[in-house]
Structure 1
Amino acid sequence: MSNRVINLLVPIISIILGLIVGAIVMLFSGYNPVEGYIALWNGIFGDTYAIGETIRQISPYILAGLAVAFAFRTGLFNIGVEGQLIVGWFAAAYVGSAFTMPMYIHLPLSLLAAAVAGALWGLIPGLLKAKFRVHEVIVTIMMNYIALHVVNALIKTVSGGGFKTDKIQPTASLRSDFLSNLTDYSTLHYGIFVALSMVIVMWFILEKTKTGFELKSVGFNENASQYAGMNVNKNIVLSMVISGAFAGLGGAMEALGTFGNMTSRGGFTGIGFDGIAVALLGANTPLGVIFGASLFGSLKYGANNMPNAANIPLEIVSIVIALIIFFVASGYIIRVALQRMNKKKEAK
């Protein structure tokens, strides 16, 4: 069994184990797991409207997954994707609503504002890591809370004491009548194409540029990279900035596509944290992130149908999703088990 086959089997087994244990939880809680999973399937693929909403849900997950995966590939653990996504959401919502200009300027500018806001939020932990060797996990976790409360204060300021920003101008919108009509008036928007284009951007940076080679080298071995003449500190900062830009664009999907504004939040969106599992499931590769995001986007939207169609409470639904995430995060154990089985087969 080759490493490529093992890499393919690990996420598949993780998902299957999550679904099996989720079924056991439903069974012991007095609910029918077959009905539950049928309801989940119908919630994802039941009709064109459900498919449109599912694809729309996938867009920010792709970008959150790319943000986490990019940092992973360069030796950093960016737990601050949630905060970077929130500031990107606000920046896109503000630029999209506060200015009036032609669409070919307004929409790119709003997207750029989100990317820059996320990048700046990633710059701070990057600088602290590079200059003072402060661990990025600690800083990025704290930056999430700062982002949440700073953005809530900014929303209150720009709205004159209200709890949400103004609606964005049509010239800054990612909404699409064509895609909406195609999917029975769902909220599907052009954001999915922005997300997919960023997958290509990440692949190009890491695989086809000198900068990408240096970023990966620093991630593999800082000392060897420094000995080879690479600027380690610069690459650490650059990695967090690019990662933050991907996350900020994830926020733009919500601001310019799904909601059209931003409301004060009592808590986190969860998308940035789920991005960690998306990246893990996708083995931190651009293509893998698409599959990981598709799974989580589908689960998040499709699960809404389980309480209605199968009378399964949302708490049980959340447990099922959490179990799948748990087994995805435990992929290393599954990998070791497969490798041991493979060695035993070869020994025989």
Structure 2
Amino acid sequence: MSKKTQQIAVPLISVVLGLLLGALIMLLFGYDPIWGYEGLFQTAFGSVKNIGEIFRAMSPLILIALGFSIASRAGFFNIGLPGQAYAGWIAAGWFALSHPEMPRPLMIASTILIAAIAGGLVGAIPGLLRAYLGTSEVIVTIMMNYIVLYVGNNIIQNVFSKSIMRTSDSSIYVSSNASYQAEWLKALTDNSRMNIGFFIALVAILLVWYLLNKTTLGFEIRAVGLNPNASEYAGMSAKRTIVLSMILSGALAGLGGVVEGLGTFENVYVQTSSLAIGFDGMAVSLLATNSPIGILFAAFLFGVLSVGAPGMNAATIPPELIKVVTALIIFFVGSHYVIDRYIKPRKEAKGGAAK
């Protein structure tokens, strides 16, 4: 099996193993897995509205996963994506609520830019600390999630103008000019919440793929991820590349946050914990092995599992078991070296046979 084929096979095998082990867990607890999965897929694809909801769920996951993939290509594990997404959501939402009469094209462009800047600034902090002080980006990004969560909640509760607040914890809805939902998409998908964020995500996939594979910066990101010392010796600035990769990672997460905030909920409200889409976006990128194109398909799977989960209630199976299946899939992706043992790349297998 070639290396390229192996990169496709490992995620697919991981998904199959995750579903099979999930079915085994259902059997152990006395549930019928066939009925459960049937209910899941019938719910996910049973109506035009639910299909629209799948695309709606995919949009922020794609953007956040792309952010994680850029950081990973540079050799970093950016766990701060939930905080970066929340920063983008709050900043863009605040702007949209404060300027309700702004023309729609300018409003959409402004909120996209503001969300990217907010997420990028939050991402820059661990990048700078890693580049110039050598601190662990894992520890710093975990801490940043809590900092952004509590500072962001305080801003919503105590800094937002009372005129844009519906309750002490939630703002009013943004104007139609600022909402990412569109009437033509609602009509097309039977009044689902699918929004223009999906198209933003598709454009982002193409841009990130081009960045990583066709530009000098993309080459430097990959080179620094493989060996920062060798990159420095070759004349690249590892410090600059580290900071830029974390800024780009945070900017994409910020876009994921504003797509979720202004596309799904259309307002800003206090969060009780870090955004789940941040962690799910990491899982999507891991399943796709950090491939921009693969992220599209991985996000689709997660969207199907998310939208279809309530259908398991018909089989009296707790929909929370879908979280178990998702975790198992990521476990097998993370344990890909076990799978690699049995599907060696063709060249390596031939080399071993020759020895």
Q: TM-score range by the shorter chain?
A: over 0.9
Deviation, 1:344, is: 8.5
- Correspondence 1:130 to 2:131: yes
In 1, distance between residues paired with 2:56 and 2:275? Answer: 15
Aligned length: 347
Q: Is the CA contact 2:51–2:189 (under 8 Å) kept in the aligned structure 1?
A: yes
Deviation, 1:345, is: 11
Greater Cα shift, 203-212 or 46-55: 203-212
In 1, distance between residues paired with 2:14 and 2:322? Answer: 17
Deviation, 1:335, is: 2.0
Q: Secondary structure at the match of 1:72?
A: helix
AA in 1 matched with 2:83 = G
Partner of 2:84: 84
In 2, distance between residues paired with 1:74 and 1:345? Answer: 30
Partner of 1:6: 6
Q: Is the CA contact 1:121–1:244 (under 8 Å) kept in the aligned structure 2?
A: yes
Deviation, 1:340, is: 8.3
In 1, distance between residues paired with 2:293 and 2:174? Answer: 32
Partner of 1:151: 152
Q: Is the CA contact 1:93–1:165 (under 8 Å) kept in the aligned structure 2?
A: no
Q: Secondary structure at the match of 1:186?
A: coil
Partner of 2:245: 239
Q: Is the CA contact 2:286–2:330 (under 8 Å) kept in the aligned structure 1?
A: no
Tell me the TM-score normalized by structure 2: 0.93
Per-residue CA distance 1:163-199 (angstroms, 9 max, x = gap):
0123212111211111111111111111100011011
In 2, distance between residues paired with 1:130 and 1:331? Answer: 30
Deviation, 1:320, is: 2.4
In 1, distance between residues paired with 2:320 and 2:55? Answer: 24
Partner of 1:57: 57
Structure 2: unaligned runs, 5 residues or longer: none
Q: Is the CA contact 1:277–1:329 (under 8 Å) kept in the aligned structure 2?
A: no
Deviation, 1:346, is: 7.7
Deviation, 1:238, is: 0.4
Greater Cα shift, 335-344 or 269-278: 335-344
- Correspondence 1:106 to 2:112: no
- Correspondence 1:333 to 2:306: no
Q: Secondary structure at the match of 1:251?
A: helix
Partner of 2:315: 310
In 1, distance between residues paired with 2:326 and 2:310? Answer: 12
Q: Is the CA contact 1:118–1:247 (under 8 Å) kept in the aligned structure 2?
A: yes
Q: Secondary structure at the match of 1:170?
A: coil
Q: Is the CA contact 1:67–1:243 (under 8 Å) kept in the aligned structure 2?
A: yes
Q: Is the CA contact 1:94–1:165 (under 8 Å) kept in the aligned structure 2?
A: no
Q: Is the CA contact 1:279–1:285 (under 8 Å) kept in the aligned structure 2?
A: yes
Aligned 1:245-260 pairs, distance under 5 A: 245-260=251-266
Distance 1:285 1:85, change over 3 A: same
In 2, distance between residues paired with 1:253 and 1:96? Answer: 13
Q: Is the CA contact 1:281–1:292 (under 8 Å) kept in the aligned structure 2?
A: yes
Q: Secondary structure at the match of 1:263?
A: coil
Structure 1: unaligned runs, 5 residues or longer: none
Per-residue CA distance 1:32-72 (angstroms, 9 max, x = gap):
10110001101211111110011100001101110111111
Q: Which runs of 4+ in 1 moved over 4 A?
A: none
Q: Secondary structure at the match of 2:102?
A: coil
Aligned 1:217-296 pairs, distance under 5 A: 217-296=223-302
In 2, distance between residues paired with 1:113 and 1:298? Answer: 30
Determine what percentage of the aligned residue pairs are the same residue: 46
Tell me the TM-score normalized by structure 1: 0.95
Q: Is the CA contact 2:42–2:308 (under 8 Å) kept in the aligned structure 1?
A: yes
Distance 1:83 1:13, change over 3 A: same
Once superposed, what is the RMSD of the aligned Cα atoms? 1.8
